[in-house]
Structure 1
Amino acid sequence: MGVAPVSPRRLGDLGRRERRRAMAASTIRCLLTTAVVVLVYYLLPLDGAPGDTGAVVRLVLGALVFVVVMGLELHRILTAQLPQLRAVEAMAVSLPLFVVVFATAYVSLSNASPADFSERLNRTAGLYFAVVTLGTVGYGDIVPRSDVARILVSLQILVDLAYVALFLRFLVTVTRFSLHRGDT
């Protein structure tokens, strides 16, 4: 069962009231999605026993969820009436999900092996550390101390660089394609 083709429109082509309404609805969807992602993160069971491989399993499962969600977001952009807003919403979905995937792995690793980080990470500390790593700020208050933790943090940094560069480019390309598709 296919989706009926929609003729995409540019946000700038909308009247002032319609544009404000579309942007408000998009903002609300972004905020609600972020709230749900963070809520799920705080509700997930992340306890681990020493030697537990839960951090790696959670990272792989999180990566799979991320890929599936991004595939759904791509489809939504391609079929959207306002692809620019859908692209912004895709970013608003992907960024917190991306951070939560790594935060989950950090907390799981810290629970399984408390010596892997300079302090034991609870959920808030794991989220904080993932955000600080994404921003390449590195305050130094939490540091990886084991090879496994350092590899995981290094992996996040490499994926962060690719994410920022490639995903933003991808969103721009898909949005342009969707807009030009309506011109034919």
Structure 2
Amino acid sequence: MERNAARRRRRFLLGHCLRATAAAGLLTALYYVAPLEGGFGILTVLTLVLGLLAFGLLTAWQVSTIARSEYPRLSALEAVVTAVPLFLIVFSATYYMLSESVPGSFSESLNRTDALYFTVTVFATVGFGDIVPVTGTGRVLTTVQMIADLVVVGVIAKALFGAMKIAMRRRSGGGLPSADEDDAP
């Protein structure tokens, strides 16, 4: 019986790891093959908004899934490893299209890898070095990402880990937390 439980846990762990890795790999591959040469305009802004909406919907669905999961920690980890690359690639594609259509928006022209590097640099808050936004549009877009980064790191992380806590309490027979317990550090 215990051997079957251990085997089942390993299978769940492997499944979560494979899905998360496949999702991140697929998103990255799609980023590199997507036709992004259309330039920066209303369609780009619409794509950014729709991408961020997709990120929000994915995260909401993942919070629900985590709260019902048999292995909430694994589900939360899978959610982060799936959602964060989507978030980063949406901004990276936008920076790339801006650099293509408005040369001089950044301190150097950005290819897809440069745009991804810049996006991760902004997300990780390590500061600017070799690539910086130069135009107003580039700076506004970077500011939007910085604000969205704070939301992702703060609010979304709290929602994911809150759902994980709920699922863990349910598993241990504790039920749903009270409002006071949920706000405790």
TM (norm. structure 2) is 0.83
Question: CA 1:110/1:54 → structure 2, altered by over 3 Å: closer, same or farther?
Answer: farther
TM-fit CA distance, 1:20? 3.5
Residue 69 of structure 2 corresponds to residue 47 of structure 1 = no
Provide the rounded CA distance (Å) in 2 between the counterparts of 1:156 and 1:30.
23
Provide the rounded CA distance (Å) in 2 between the counterparts of 1:53 and 1:124.
23
Provide the rounded CA distance (Å) in 2 between the counterparts of 1:96 and 1:144.
22
Provide the rounded CA distance (Å) in 2 between the counterparts of 1:78 and 1:169.
13
Q: Deviations over 1:66-121 (max 9, x none)?
A: 12211221232133221111111101111111110110110111111011111121
Aligned with 1:176 (options 137, 156, 165): 165
Provide the rounded CA distance (Å) in 1 between the counterparts of 2:53 and 2:149.
16
Structure 1 vs Structure 2: percent identity of aligned residues? Answer: 35
Q: Secondary structure at the match of 1:116?
A: coil
Q: Secondary structure at the match of 1:95?
A: helix
Aligned with 1:88 (options 71, 74, 77): 77
Provide the rounded CA distance (Å) in 2 between the counterparts of 1:90 and 1:15.
24
Aligned with 1:27 (options 17, 34, 37): 17
TM-fit CA distance, 1:130? 0.3
The 8 Å contact of residues 59 and 156 in structure 2, kept in 1 or not, is answered as no
Provide the rounded CA distance (Å) in 2 between the counterparts of 1:166 and 1:68.
14
Aligned with 1:97 (options 67, 86, 95): 86
TM (norm. structure 1) is 0.83
TM-fit CA distance, 1:17? 4.5
Name the counterpart of 1:7.
none
| Count of matched residue positions in the alignment of Structure 1 and Structure 2 | 170
Bigger Cα displacement from structure 2, 95-104 vs 155-164: 155-164
TM-fit CA distance, 1:22? 2.7
Provide the rounded CA distance (Å) in 1 between the counterparts of 2:124 and 2:31.
20
Residue 106 of structure 2 corresponds to residue 117 of structure 1 = yes
RMSD between aligned residues:
1.9
The 8 Å contact of residues 54 and 109 in structure 1, kept in 2 or not, is answered as no
Provide the rounded CA distance (Å) in 1 between the counterparts of 2:41 and 2:146.
24
Name the counterpart of 2:182.
none
Provide the rounded CA distance (Å) in 2 between the counterparts of 1:54 and 1:45.
13
Question: CA 1:114/1:53 → structure 2, altered by over 3 Å: closer, same or farther?
Answer: farther
TM-fit CA distance, 1:48? 2.9
Provide the rounded CA distance (Å) in 2 between the counterparts of 1:37 and 1:66.
12
Aligned with 1:135 (options 100, 124, 135): 124
